[in-house]
Amino acid sequence: MMSVFSLPYSLLPVDRLEQQLGVSMRNQVECDFHTLQKQRPRIYQDLLSYCLASRLHRVREFVTQRDATLFWQTLKLTKQQTCSELVIMTWKRRLYIGYLGILPDTYGLFAPLDPKQAMIFVESLIHQTLDNILGLALSEGCIALVTTLINPNLALIFRRYGFIMEKSDITGLPLPARFHYPISL
């Protein structure tokens, strides 16, 4: 099981974000499912749905926090404003990415970039974060990264990284869609 308190680094690209935004951020890490359930109920339900939707396991197997490990990292610009947020869970040798928000909604207001430059910057931040997540998954013996994406731009970024969209009966790029990244151990 993952011991997140012993992580020697941040999974989010703190240094690059602080440099780009010109501010220092407060880094918060939480590992308790009950806190996530209270503060971010939709993300909690999304993580739980991975366990409930698994065809390989019965619902009763996801009973306690011992069954899965949570890592919830938040980078705060101020006490009220979040810059970046990442919620991942390991369960049954898979690492599930439940939520990834890389920049604040107001980013374009104080750091205007043309759309192409902005997407290149965002993609590089996401790829750096995915590299960190992959390193953690490898150290934990996970066999895959799994996520569900609803944003077509994020889906494209994840596909460029190497994520594979799981089969569906819908043609084209149906969203939301489940994606996975197989890990060779």
- Model confidence at 88: pLDDT above 90: yes
pLDDT at 143: 95
pLDDT at 1: 45
pLDDT at 7: 58
Domains of the chain (ranges plus CATH)? 9-182 (3.40.630.30)
Environment class of 139 (CB within 10 Å of its CB; exposed 0-12, middle 13-18, buried 19+): exposed
pLDDT at 8: 54
Give pLDDT tens digits for 23-33. 899 998 988 88
Secondary element (H or E) of residue 75: strand 69-76
Q: What distance in Å separates the CA atoms of residue 17 and residue 22, rounded to the nearest whole number? A: 8
pLDDT at 81: 87
Give pLDDT tens digits for 35-63. 999 999 999 988 888 776 654 444 444 44
Residue 107: pLDDT band with limits 50, 70, 90: low
